[in-house]
Copies of this chain bind each other. A is one copy, B any other.
């Protein structure tokens, strides 16, 4: 009998969601968030995400960092649409042997992340998992984005500049627990007319083709342009994942001016290539990543 270990997540999700009515969703599953158009005012962004002990964090990780990460991952998805957080709900499923102090630390991290980046905790539930089971922290929530500033994965056009925020690779050394969701950068990019955007959670090598495919384009990237975390090889920079940086496609006529006005306090924005009509032109030793 086929088990989950035998098939990939993308394939599974695609299979499972087939046939679900999408109702009046502006944008359904497949982007960083689903989008609801309430008819007036800001568009609403919906997202759910979970982290699991032993998969997304080590059981011995500092609880406050785990709480921060659980929330920041969802905020990063709002950022990837050009949006901001509004209401967050946290469900925590923990084994009975979990120290109360750990749970308190977890919530301290959740609160710190919301205080820093905005968003109101509008629901919290704890539930037990059997002894020895992995802890699961599930965060669902709602963000919003101004009409006209929403950026999907699918809007890129040939000729657009491909760029990333920050530096890539080596997140496992610590950044994956304490990263800054690029909310200000994402909102800025939405306002300046970015055409496609996503956050890098699985690594550039896996995520770039998703944006390119959603936009119906090809790409041309130069691996030498990819900003690497100090000490990261190219392989780590494009393959490690958990960067939580933004990958963005910007119309060429807006790139130069946009870069000039890019606020100094933001994470760096670095050009790594272009969208093209089709195919993937690679330079600098990318081939084996795709």
A residues at B contact (CB < 8 Å): 1-7, 9, 12-13, 15-17, 19-25, 28-29, 33-34, 36, 38, 41, 46-56, 87, 89-91, 93-101, 103-104, 107, 111, 114-115, 120-130, 132-134, 136, 138, 140-142
New contact pairs (6) apart from A16-B124, A138-B140, CB-CB < 8 Å: A4-B98, A20-B120, A25-B120, A38-B41, A133-B134, A140-B140
This chain: copies in complex: 2
**Nearest chain B CB to A9's CB is how many angstroms away?**
6
Closest residue of chain B to A36 (Cβ to Cβ) is B87
| A13 / chain B contacts, CB cutoff of 8 Å | 124-126
Interchain residue pairs with CB less than 8 A apart (12): A2-B99, A3-B99, A4-B103, A4-B128, A5-B96, A16-B124, A17-B107, A20-B114, A28-B122, A33-B123, A34-B87, A34-B123
Residue on B with the closest CB to A39? B41
Q: What is the interface of chain A mostly: helix, strand, loop, or mixed?
A: mixed
Complex CA–CA separation, A50 to B4 (angstroms): 21
